[in-house]
Amino acid sequence: MDIKIIKTKEFKDKPMDESKLGFGKIFSDHMFIVEYDEGQGWHDARIQAVENLSLHPASSVFHYGQEIFEGAKAYRRDDGEIQVFRLMDNCKRLVNSAIRSSMPELDPEFQYEAIMQLINLDRDWVPQSEGTSLYLRPTMISSTPALGAHSAHNFIYFVLCSPSGSYYTNGMQPVRIRIEAFYARSVKGGMGRAKAGGNYAASFKATKEAHNDGFDQVLWLDGVHKKYVQEVGAMNIIFVIDGVIVTPDLGDTILPGITRASVLQLAADLGYKIEERPISVEEIYEAHSSGRLSESFGTGTAAVISPVGEYCYRGESIILNNNEIGPVAQRFYDLLTGIQFGRAEDKFGWTNVVPRR
């Protein structure tokens, strides 16, 4: 399928002060869009000016939430070139989310090519200040204008580019986490492994309550036993116990994070022992009381690494590493960001330069 490029005639002013970019609030000049109709397949692939979508009020995305998305980044290197980090993995993961959500598959190679062309066209929107990046948001929604409760027959896939500021504007600081004792993010057999909008909507109430009580995020537990650790906020979680990298095994309730996979591969390369297995709250607190839990951190696209300074479960708090960034979290943050910005060797082939066309 060819991609038609329709350049905008009204270019927007680019942000002058990159320290005020924030996250996901500013968008580049162009977007990619392709449509799907049952019986015809994907068609009319194009890069065009960013504009509002025109959807009938009965479109199934509004009523049944048939929607998935991805999150990736493009980085400006010191030599001015632009590169992406594990973008193909994002494209493949979107296909897995589509399969779970009863949505049509879109070839990962085609997604990748479309996104690379889009970045190239809007390459001047990639910020250059320390820690900044061009955030990429591929999204697929159902658009059939009918109220029947079944999988839709029409879909739209689009990609937005958003120049975003450094996640840590005041330096990387450990966060306060409440372990959620009531609400569940996902259950076995549910949508937890897919990157679907509904997973995030389901998390907002517990997160808001945690914020109101002075916490930064929540650590989710399994939906059956309310005992085993799942994710922290919208990130995967890692613990360092007796010097071992310990993280929950994936299954179908946890999103297979690309940053998580990168940390585990780096850890293996560095000689760390790694355990992917069930981890209970009881084990976390026991490991802390015995001095075996040295640090914990989240992994995700936005923050890369987010160190945890405090866990609180049913009113009982534990402080990790004197509420300071641990050496393991700092090491992985430095290694990953070094690769992402082209300042460190990429021995795994995770990065690709956006070709000029």
Q: Do 81 and 183 have their domain in common?
A: no
- Structural domain contains residue 285: yes
Residues 9, 90, single domain; the answer is yes
Check whether residue 218 and residue 290 sit in a common domain. Answer: yes
347 falls within a domain:
no
CA distance 146 to 85: 39
User: Over the stretch 280-290, which tens digit does the pLDDT of each residue have?
Assistant: 999 999 999 99
Rounded-to-integer distance, Cα 278 and Cα 237, Å: 12
Confidence of residue 236 (pLDDT cuts 50, 70, 90): very high
Residues 295 and 319 occupy one common structural domain: yes
Residues with Cβ within 8 Å of 196's Cβ and at least 6 positions away in sequence, in order, are: 65, 67, 68, 69, 97, 100, 101
Say how far apart CA 6 and CA 354 lie, in whole Å: 20
Angle between helices 327-340 and 258-270 (to 10 degrees): 110
191, 327: one domain: yes
Q: Identify the CATH number of the domain in which residue 148 sits.
A: 3.30.470.10
Residue 346 within a domain: no
pLDDT recorded at residue 19: 87
Which of 139, 164, 189 finishes a domain? 164
What does the radius of gyration of the chain's CA atoms come to, in whole angstroms? Answer: 21
**What pLDDT shows up at residue 168?**
76
Q: HEC profile for 153-216?
A: CEEEEEEEEEEECCCCCCCCCCEEEEECCCCCCCCCCCCCCCCEHHHHHCCHHHHHHHHHCCCC
Asked if residue 319 and residue 181 are part of one domain, the reply reads yes
State how far the alpha carbon of 281 is from the alpha carbons of 66, 226, 264, 285, 287, in Å. Answer: 33, 9, 22, 6, 10
pLDDT at 90 over 80: yes
Extract the tokens encoding 10: 């009204």
Can you give the pLDDT at residue 16?
Answer: 87
Q: d(Cα 1, Cα 106) in Å, to the nearest integer?
A: 11
Across the range 5-15, mean pLDDT stands at 95
Instruction: Identify the domain boundary among 164, 199, 217.
Output: 164
**Of 14-28, 110-124, 234-248, which gets the smallest average pLDDT?**
14-28
Read off the pLDDT of residues 304-314 as tens digits, 9 standing for 90 and up: 999 999 999 99
Residue 345 lies in a domain: no
Instruction: For residue 349, tell me if it sits in a domain.
Output: no
Q: How many distinct structural domains can be found in the chain?
A: 2
Q: Decide if 39 is inside a domain.
A: yes
What's the confidence (pLDDT) of residue 171?
Answer: 74
Instruction: Verify that 147 and 70 share a domain, yes or no.
Output: yes
Contacts of 342 (CB under 8 A, 6+ apart): 75, 77, 78, 79, 81, 83, 351
Q: Are residues 179 and 275 located together in one domain of the fold?
A: yes
Write the CATH number for 324. Answer: 3.20.10.10
Q: Which of 198, 210, 131, 203 has the alpha carbon at shortest distance from 163?
A: 131
Each residue of 300-349: pLDDT tens digit?
999 999 999 999 999 999 999 999 999 999 999 999 999 999 999 999 99
Q: What's the distance, CA 176 to chain centroid?
A: 20
In terms of domains, do 36 and 126 share one? Answer: yes
Q: How far from 208 is each of 178, 217, 233, 305, 311, CA to CA, in Å?
A: 11, 9, 11, 22, 17
Contact 249, 257 (CB under 8 A): no
Is 150 found in the same domain as 36?
yes
Residue 209 sits in which domain range? 175-340
pLDDT in tens, 163-190: 999 887 667 899 999 999 999 999 999 9
Are 131 and 23 contained in the same domain?
yes
pLDDT for the residue numbered 133:
97
Q: Please check whether residue 265 lies inside any domain of the structure.
A: yes
Residue 295, domain member (yes or no): yes
Q: For residue 335, what are the contacts with CB-CB under 8 A and spacing of at least 6?
A: 266, 344
pLDDT at 43 over 90: yes
pTM for this prediction: 0.96
Same domain, 223 and 303: yes
Q: Is 90 exceeded by the pLDDT of residue 113?
A: yes
Considering the chain, what is the average pLDDT of its residues?
96
> Which of 111, 142, 164 represents a domain boundary (last residue)?
164
